Amino acid sequence: MAGPLLPIVKLSGAINVGSIDDIFGEIKQAFGTAGVEVDLSGLTDIDLTFVQLMEPARRDAAESGNAIRLSQPASGFVLETLQRGGFLSDPPDERTLFWTSAAGEKA
């Protein structure tokens, strides 16, 4: 089941400590009053800085009743970065479900 239509921020290229301020600005500007959907399909690389940006955004959105979601589950190097950083738990919790669920799935 798909969730409500949200503005989409399509990220591309490499995201690291040098580019994270620009990414933060894009996501914050698109967030609006309902939330935002983040498309990771154009990324070529990330470091933990991106995960550290998305985690508080995810928690803040949940606390305020807004939505932040991914267009597709994390995969490839994004999933590897999450695993190396210890951001995925077994059994899955809210954080794990955010990164591994398809857009619109209820976490």
Digit-coded pLDDT (tens) for 26-52: 988 888 778 999 999 999 999 999 999
What is the DSSP track for 68-104?
Answer: EEESS---HHHHHHHHHTT---SS--HHHHHHHSPTT
Digit-coded pLDDT (tens) for 50-76: 999 999 999 988 888 888 999 999 999
Residue 52 CB coordination number (10 Å): 13
Q: Domain coordinates of the chain in residue numbers? A: 8-100
Using alpha carbons, select from 96, 95, 15 the residue that is nearest to residue 48.
Answer: 15
The CATH class, in words, for 8-100 is alpha beta
What's the pTM value of the predicted model, to 2 decimals? 0.85
